[in-house]
Each structure stands twice: as structure tokens, then as C-alpha cells.
Structure 1
Amino acid sequence: MPTSNIKKRHNTPLYWLIALSIPILFFVLFELGLRIADYGRNLPLFIANPANTEYILPRPDIVRRYFSDNSLIPSVTMEANFLLKEKPKNGYRVFVQGGSTAAGFPYGLGASLAGMLDNRLKSTLPYHYVEVVNTALSAVNSYTVLDLADEIIAQQPDAVLIYMGHNEYLGIMGVGSNYTAASSQASTLLFLKLKELRLFQLMQNTYSYFQQPKDKTNFKDSRTFMAKVAKHKNIPLNSNMFAAGVQQFDTNLRLVLDKYTAANVPVYLATIASNLKDQPPFASPDLSDDFSRDLSLLDQLIQTKQNDKVTAQLSKMSQAKSLNNNALAQFELANRYYLMGDFSSAYYHYNQAKELDLLRFRAPEAINNIIRKYAKSQQNVTLVDVAGRLAKSSKHGLIGNNLMLEHLHPNLQGYFLLADTFYNAIKQHSKLLDWYTVRIEKAWQNRPILPSEEYNGFAKILQLMGDFPFTDTPKTLTLPQPEDWQQSLGKEYFLKQIDWVTMMKLALKGYQQEKNAEMVLKSTQLLADALPHDPILNQMTGNLFRNKRLPHLSIHYYLRAHKVNPDSKILARSLIAAYRANKQPELARQWQLQLDKLK
């Protein structure tokens, strides 16, 4: 055959189509072969509840998605909480996304945004089947929020609540983190797209097999996550790495909001707060000799009450060049302004101390600026000003240990205010017509957390603060003696001598022995919410609410029990009575027909 003919055939579109298709077909067949051989793993966000197929739950070990090497996986899990596999016609379904604060650390689900809101919205929306589902977990940032968005959309949310931003630098896939998936934002986003492909997983596993071990013991010991996560402990303000963290958050948040906008899902996006007044910078240059001398002089002037000279000295020090890049100097100056009653100047310098902190466990103001920008520019996004609410609830507008446990996790009052701010935003901006406001005093009284859980949270904070970055040398944890049987249960739970369900059942037994009706109801309800497939617990909770003349709540728990026990005449009669008491006669008649069929 003439050479010219061969060249002509090589130049035909069909030739190039076949030539390009061969490698693509090879990789497609390779991928299919790996899947048929059951190679690799598929880790969907929502998994079946083995105890009852009517329910699904967010996967507790979802963080495994981001690690091919199991020895590197941090010990963070998503607390189990359930939702119905099929959304009810009268369902109101909300999802919470974010990091450890959104997840309720250190107290757990009861103190979390999801736990507080679920408890309150059940009474607020008596004609809806309310589900507030937590998908937040410690250590994650905007990459994980983006990665989970499509699967949340598939569950037909009526709203998504987002509280995130502190982990962009030192969270999983953060720019300064030991737990990184790739070296740049573009490659990390590509990793999120490819990670489910079995061929990609094979490449990861092959790379991990041949890679030399790199001090994996660092990730397997008993140190806290904060002690292990920081690869880059020095990220100056406005440095390239600082800018990369801000850009990462901006891009990822835009992508998240674009997904929810396209799906017509309302988003409630919160500003984030941290401890300004009582958290010294984690990392800072030492004070200069000149600034140290000026600080000593200032303290002498304050002690001798030479106020005019104090004012002059403060003014001089606030203009010192050594202040510009020194977080510790800013913090020390802020303390003196606070002591002298100049709270606006104190706020400025406390905030500068946080901004200049080289170890970026607290988000810079740039993060809140981005949050406000997108809340203003996106139609389906509502700004929830949590930072402003906590500041207004703090003396002189300075958030400190009054609402924070350490650098950024709220105490119980702080978590309640966070949830209340979201509650009011939903009330103002949702299109729900049958809204019955639960007063703030009543909501606080009914907060879904027991003293034993509070003690467990207290112990977790002691553990956290006994390690880096709060101290250079890890300290042996010493727990204070419990003051009562409730705290004793919390200590046993913290020490992993009992599990959460056992702790709650023992607490219920203790309250029953004390004849404490309020705490019997609370602990029974918490158990029923944790185990929606348990017909006995849910029927008990329904009965307790019926006795308190709260039929809308009794209906919720009776319906849960009925899903497991559909042939129960007692439950049918209970539902008839509850619907009548709730002024829903048509539904009462429908249940009467159900009861007649059972007879």
C-alpha cells in the first residue's frame, strides 16, 4: 500500500477518534474491573441504620474519605443522629454543617446547634415532623462542607445551617496542616472529585506502599488533635500562606453556596466568634526590650493612679513600631486599656492580637468579611450574626471566658446563644406560617443536656488544655473529684468505663429514684431521640408529654413508636387522643379507622 494512502488514513477524524478512545476505554474497563472485584471503598455520607431500616444516619467515620493510610486518620467522629429514610409529607428537615463548634464540642450533640434547635423546633412547629440533622464534626473545614453538600441536597433539606471558618489553616486539608490531601487548592479540589474512583484509590495505595514511613507514631499516640495538626506554626498576617487560607475559604464557600442556590435550598450562614479577651496569643515574637520597659513603667503609673501619665504612656505605646507585628504586645496593651476603662481601644488591640497570632487556630477577620460578603450577594443566604450576638452578650462587647471555654469553643451558655441566634433568623426569614415561638427562658430550661454530659465536656477541656498549644509540655490529666452521682457518671463516661446510652439509662434511673419529674422527662426524651427505633422509649416519652399536656410533642414520639409497632392498639388509641387534644380532628378520625382495622 502506498505510503501516501497510509498518511491520509492517519489524518482522518475516524483514525484520531479511535486512537484517543483506546486509552480512555482501557481506563474505563480498568475502573469497572476494580469495582467488580470489589477493590477499594465507597463511603457515602448517609448509611442505613442496622437496627431499623426506616432510618438512616450520617456516617460516623466519614473522615476516612480523606485518608488512604488508616494510620494517619485522626480520631474524630460524627456523633450518631438519625433521620427517616423517606422524608414525611409534613417534614421540616434541617442540616447543620461545620467544624467542632457546630458539632457541640466538648459537650456533644445535646449542646450542639443541631441538638438545641431540634429540641426547640419540635415545640415551635407542632404540625411538622421536625428533623435537625448534624453533619458537622471536629477538625474539618470548607473542603468537607463542600464535599458533603451534594449528598445533603439529595436528602431534601428545607434549610442548611453553616457555622465554619476556624479550621481553614490547621484543620483537615488546611493550608498549614499536617493532614493535607494535596499541595494546592486546585489539586485538593481535584482530589475531592477523584477520590471515589477505584483507579485513583489504587494509585494512592500503591504510592503509600512504596513511600518511606514518616514518623507515623506522631499520629497514633495519645496527644490531642490540636497538638498533632500544626505543620506550619508560623503563618504571619498577609503572608502567602495566610492569603492562601483566605482564598481557600472564599472559593470553597462560593462553591458550596452555588450548589445550594441551584437546588433552591435556603442557607443560614453564621459569622464565627472566638475568645478575644481571655485568650493570649498562641505564638508571637517576644516583647522587645524597649516595649518591656515601657510596659513596666505603664504598670507603675497605673498602680500609683497617675492617670494623666497613664494616658500619655498608652498613647505612646500604641504607636510603637514593635507593636505592628507582635501579637503578645498587642494583647498586653489591650489588657491595660481594659484596666483603664477604654474598652474601644481594648477591643481594637485584643482583635489585633488575634489577627497577629502566628499559630492560626482562630480565624482572622477576613473570614467573617467573606461570610458577610456572600450573605449579602446571594439571594438564598441569610446572615446569622453569631459573633455580634455573643459580643452583645459580653461585658463591654468583649467575648471572653464568660462565653468561651478556651480559644473558641463556647460554654453551655455560649452554645445556647449560638442556637438562639439561628432560631431567631429562621423565624424571621423562613416561610413557615404555623410558627409558635418558644420563649428563650423556656428553651434554656429545656436544654437537651444532662449534668453528667457537662462533666464529660469539662473533662475534655482539661485534657485539651493540658497539651499543645496551651502548654509546651503535655501535662498528666488529673480530674477533680465528682461532686455528686451525676458527675460520677460523667467521669465514668469520659474514662470510657461506660458508653453514652448506659450513662443516660443510669441517669434516668437516678432521677426516677429521686422522683425528679423534670429530669426524668429530659433523660427519657434524650434517650428516645438517640434511639428513635426503640418503641418502648418513644412510647414512654409520648406518655410523659401527654401527662404534661403537650400533645404535639407526644404525637411525635407516638408516631416513632408506631413505625416499629404498627399493630399496637395502645399506640393507635394514644394517637387518637393526642390528635384530638392537638385540635386535629381529621387526623384523629384517620387513626380511629386504623384502630377499627386492628380490631
Structure 2
Amino acid sequence: MLTSAPSLSLTDRGGLRHNLLVGLVGVALVGVVEFGLRLAGASPPNDLFLRQDLETAAVYVANPQVTHRFFPPGLRRAPVAAPFAAAKTPGTVRIFVLGASTLVGFPNPPGTGFPKFLKLMLADAYPEQRFEIVNCGITAVNSHCLLDFTREVLGYDADLLIIYAGHNEFAGPYGPSTPFAHVGNARPLIRAHMFLQRSYLYSALQELAFALPRWLSGPAPAFNLQLVTEQVGVFDEAHATTVDNFRDNLADMLTAADRQNVPVLLGTLVSNLKDFHPLRSVCGATGGPEGLRIGETIVGLNGHTGATENYLRSVLQEAPECAAAHFELGRLYLGTGRPAQARAAFVTARDLDRLPLRAPSILNQVVRDAGRTDGSVVVSDVEAAFSDASPGGIVGNELLTEYLHPTVRGHYVLGRTLVTGLPAFAAAQGWGQMRPSAIRSFEEYRALLGTTGLAEALARNNLILFLINMPYSSPPIILRERVADLIEAQIDAVVGLPAAQRQQFLGRGGAAFLAQAAGFAPGARQPHLQALVARLQRDRG
């Protein structure tokens, strides 16, 4: 039998009004505190660029504190973008390049990243057109951060966006392997958290939360890949969710650009296949914990190809997802003249790495699928260009410094690949006739960069340190050999420096560092390396 709903008593109504009033007062107090914090400038601004009104003109400068939302203290990196005019010069094509540490040029000397090559190449390829390149690269950011930056830079009279990003989706902010801010993998929750992080009150509370551990246990750790420890398997739900998040973030970036009628050039991602051992593997009893037994067993087989291949296949029969076994199988195939099989094995090894610092194949597929037939979004196949420029079509140390960052020559290849994709845009028809033959050789452009031998030597030491700190549970022999090779190359390079630069290198502790780094090399090579370093230290002339 239906009855009417009971009506609220006067007491109930009074309680409801009281609760509503308390809630409104609470919201008002939060608003007052937020307004007061903003008025006092109690938190860093959130925008990537800040306007400065100079005597001559207004400019936008990179906000050095923009990453305060994404990283804890000690792990924050500032943008590298140079200031640009608020009012664009008529006739100028303004290009914003969005991405992470590859844009910064790490670990090479400053000013050697592909945005610099872009600027030089565009001036040659389109001599009648003036270009302005704004490098928005920031170390360790990913598509969650770049979505915010994309929406912002579209308001600065952009003519073209270039996006080269995707390697940091797992280990960057909000990713499942991140050592930074992590609130779960659900994108709506991540976006809500990022919205709250724009609040000055929330930011102040976040800084307090960061400060408490430092007060209790000392300074925060330095920026280091060894902070990345959370494993993600290719068949884990977190892996699939991360791919979906990247796809959705990229789609939102492209939608925002489309609304402003700004075309976008996307680059596929390149990573080291041939010369970078997977960081984490699951390899069963035959391969040992994380595949640690594989390298030892291969050494014990003394180069017997058939026995080595049989052993690796037995590991994969027990543990098909063992990235280390696929990698070693790739090396065996390459050494026995089977490059196609080698490349397939190396790709599988990368995609199965349980610390996915290198973008797996599926993320490149997302980038390729984002291209549009109307020419508003063009995909430049950087991965294919690097393969074409690599021995046997397999990318390795020839063009990459470690797991994914290009060498200076690699940046040249990346820049050239992007430039050759520009004629596909309708807007490019107004830039004049492109002259691809005017794009000069790597050696010619490198001479224009003006990098000193000392800067290259210091960068090489940084690379050696970076490799030594790779987050392996036990460093593989291929990494130790790579460090030994770099130490030898470094000593040769330093010996060839002008005396003043050599003295600066030694004065900054460069040789002392090499002596310490030599202890990371394979034992058989350590005495020779130590002798070379000692000779360098004695020869200070």
C-alpha cells in the first residue's frame, strides 16, 4: 500500500539549515584562505610562462617553478625555454616544441638538442620565412603535464606545435611506476588531483607534506632513476590503463589545437634496442631471479652458439615474458647474421621490460593512429628514420647515448626527420618553396653549435655517472662494458683538448671521477683503465 513520504519536522529542518550554514561558512573560509594565499604569493605560479613587461616590450619567460605541482623538492627541474615576445613579429612562424628531457638535450652539452637543429635547418630550408622556435622541454614530464602546457601555449599565438613525448608515461608524474605524485591510475582521478594542485591552499598543504619527512629523516633524495622501482608487466591492468591515459591525453591535446586551428607535428618515439639490456625481467627457475642467471650461463657456454640458443629457448619455454632472454637471443641472432630476427627479439625485449622507461611499441602505435588525413595532424616517423640510419636497421649506441636519449648526431637525425615532414601541412605552402637540398650535413651544423671540447667532456662524465646509476638490481655486463668504453673514449678526448681546457677538466675533478668510475668496469679491464687515468692525472701540461 502506497503512503505519502513523511514530512520533515521543525527540528529536522533546523538541523538541515544548520548543516548547510556550516558548510557554506567552511567553503567561504577556504575561499578566503585561498584568496589570501594568492594575494601574498604564497605558492609558485602554475603557468609554464610568465609575462614580464619590460621598458621596450612585453615578453614571456619560462616559469622556473612550474614543476612544483608535479615533483617533490629536490626532484624539480626548470624549463629551458628562452624568453619570447608577447607580440609576435608580423610574418613570423611561431613553433612550440613540447616534450621532456630529449628536448633539453640531456645528457649532451646545452644547446645541442633537436630544437636547435630545427632552427638552423628551417632557416636553410625556408630562407624566405622567419621562424621562432620555443623549446618547452622539461625533464621527466609526461602527457599528463603536457596537456596542461599545450592548452596554455596555444594562447601565445602559436602557428605549429611539435610534440615528441611518450617515454615517461609509466615513470613520470602520476604513472604507475612513478616515484613522484601518484594517486592511482584512473585518469579522472589524476585530472581532479591536478586541478586541486592548482589551488594555493592545496599547494601549501602539499609542500607541508613534502617537508615533514625532510624534517624527520633529512634531505630529499637527488634526482635519480634508481628511485624508479615499481614494476609493471605488459599484461598488467596498470599497463593498459597507462596506454589509455596517453591516448586520451594526446587526443585532448590535438582537440585543443584543432579548436585554435593550430596544426600539430607528432614524432614517433625512438629507443635503444641493440645496446640496452632490459631493467627488470621475470625469467623463472631456468633464468634465475630477474634473469640474473642468464648472463652467467651464457659466459659459461664460451660462445657456443647452438648451446646458447638452446639454453635461451629453454628459458623462454618456461618464462615467455623473460625480457632478458629475448634480449640475449637478439644479440645471438645479430652475431650470427640474422638481423630481422634480431630486431624482432630486441623489440620484444623492450616491450616486456618490467621497468618501462622506454616507450613500448603500443605507444608508438597510438602516435601513428593520431595522424589525420586532412593534414591538421602529421606524424613524422622518427623511429623509422633512426632505424634507417643505424647499422643493420637496429637502433643502438651509434645514435643513442643510453636507453633513449639521442647523441648529438641523433638529434640531427631527429631534427631533419621533423623538418622533412613539414610540407604536409597546408600552412607550409605560405612559407615559400622548401629546399630540402639546402639542409646541410651534421658536421656543418655541429660546427655552428659552438660547443667546446671541454663541454663535451663534462657531458660525457655526466653520461658515465648516469649509466652507473641505472636502476638495475645487478648491472649487466653489457652496461659495464659500455662504461669502460666511454672511459677510454673520454681519456682520448681529454688528451686531445687544448691545454687550458684540459686543466679545467682536471681542476673540476674530471680525472678523479674517471678513476672512481673505472671500478664499475668489468674486472679484467679495470687495471688498464686505472693506468690510463693515472697517466692523465700525471700529464697536466
> Do the two structures share a fold, i.e. TM-score over 0.5?
yes
Measured after TM superposition, the shift of residue 275 of structure 1 is 0.7
Q: Give the match for residue 244 of structure 2.
A: 247
Q: What is the alpha-carbon distance in structure 1 between the residues aligned to residue 310 and residue 55 of structure 2?
A: 66
In the alignment, is the contact (CA less than 8 A) between 1:323 and 1:330 conserved in 2? Answer: no
Paired residues for 1:353-502 under 5 Å: 353-376=349-372, 380-432=376-428, 433=430, 434-437=432-435, 439=437, 442=440, 444=442, 445-447=444-446, 448-452=448-452, 453-469=455-471, 480=491, 482-485=494-497, 489=501, 492=504
Using a 3 Å threshold, how does the CA distance of structure 1 residues 283 and 87 change in structure 2: closer, same or farther? same
Following the alignment from structure 2 to structure 1, what is the Cα–Cα distance between the partners of residues 166 and 92?
A: 30
8 Å contact from structure 1 (residues 56, 82) kept in 2: yes
How far does residue 251 in structure 1 lie from its aligned partner after superposition?
2.2
Residue type of the alignment partner of 1:469:
P
Q: Secondary structure at the match of 1:455?
A: helix
Corresponding position: 1:339 with 2:338: no
Report the residue type matching 1:200 in the other structure: Y
Give the corresponding residue for 1:65.
Answer: 69
**C-alpha contact 2:99 2:137 (8 A) present in aligned 1:** yes
Task: Indicate the residue corresponding to 1:575 in structure 2.
Answer: none
Once the two structures are overlaid, the 10-residue window that deviates more, 129-138 or 254-263, is 254-263
State the distance in 1 between where 2:503 and 2:376 align.
44
- 1:48–1:34 CA distance, 2 compared to 1 (3 A): closer
Distance in 2 (alpha carbons) for counterparts of 1:227 and 1:109 = 24
Query: Aligned residues: percent identity?
Result: 22
In 1, Cα distance between the equivalents of 2:309 and 2:470? 35
Structure 1: distance between partners of 2:108 and 2:369:
32
Q: Secondary structure at the match of 2:139?
A: coil
Alignment partner, residue 31 of structure 2: 28
Displacement of 1:95 in angstroms is 0.7
Q: Which letter does structure 2 place at the counterpart of 1:194?
A: L
SS at match of 1:421: helix
Q: Which moved more, 1:103-112 or 1:348-357?
A: 103-112
Distance apart, 1:247 and its partner CA: 2.4
What does 1:529-568 align with in structure 2 at a 5 Å threshold?
Answer: none
Distance 1:491 1:295 in 2: 43
- The CA deviation at 1:300 is 5.9
Q: Is the 8 A contact 2:123 2:131 kept in 1?
A: yes
* Structure 1: runs of 5+ lacking an equivalent: 303-309, 498-599
Given residue 62 of structure 1, which amino acid in structure 2 is its aligned partner? V
One-letter amino acid matched to 2:66? I
1:197 paired residue number? 199
Q: Are the aligned partners of 1:465 and 1:471 in contact in 2 as well (CA < 8 Å)?
A: no
2:122 aligned with 1:126: no
Question: What's 1:547 paired with?
Answer: none
What amino acid maps onto 1:482 in structure 2? V
1:106 and 1:160 map into 2 onto residues whose CA distance is 24
- Could you tell me how far 1:53 is from its partner in structure 2? 5.7
Q: Which has the larger radius of gyration?
A: 1
CA 1:466/1:218 → structure 2, altered by over 3 Å: closer, same or farther?
farther
Aligned to 1:278: 275
Letter in 2 for 1:196: R
Query: What is the CA deviation profile of residues 95-147 of structure 1, one whole-angstrom value per residue up to 9, with x for unaligned ones?
Result: 11111112221225532221111122233333433111100121111112112
1:367 Cα deviation after fit? 0.8
Q: Which amino acid aligns with 2:265?
A: Y
Conserved? CA contact 1:176–1:241, under 8 Å: no
385-394 or 438-447, larger mean C-alpha shift? 438-447
* 1:22-54 deviations in Å (ceiling 9; x for gaps): 554444334323333443332431135698763
Evaluate the alpha carbon distance shift between residue 157 and residue 140 of structure 1 in structure 2; reply closer, same or farther with a 3 A threshold.
same
Residue correspondence of structure 1 range 118-267 to structure 2 within 5 A: 118-184=119-185, 185-208=187-210, 217=219, 219-220=221-222, 225-228=224-227, 230-232=228-230, 234-267=231-264
Q: Specify the code of the residue in structure 1 equivalent to 2:221.
A: F
CA contact (8 A) 2:420 2:436 kept: no
Inter-CA distance 202–285: structure 2 relative to 1 (3 Å threshold) = closer
Q: Give 1:425 shift.
A: 0.7
Give the SS at the match of 1:171.
Answer: coil
Uncovered stretches (5+) of structure 2, i.e. residues with no partner = 1-6, 288-292, 510-541
Say how many residue pairs are matched.
478
Aligned AA for 1:446?
A: Y
Name the SS of the counterpart of 1:431 in structure 2: helix
**CA distance in structure 2 between the aligned counterparts of 1:88 and 1:494, rounded to whole angstroms:** 46
Separation of aligned partners in 2, 1:458 and 1:133: 26
Letter in 2 for 1:168: E
Distance apart, 1:183 and its partner CA: 3.1
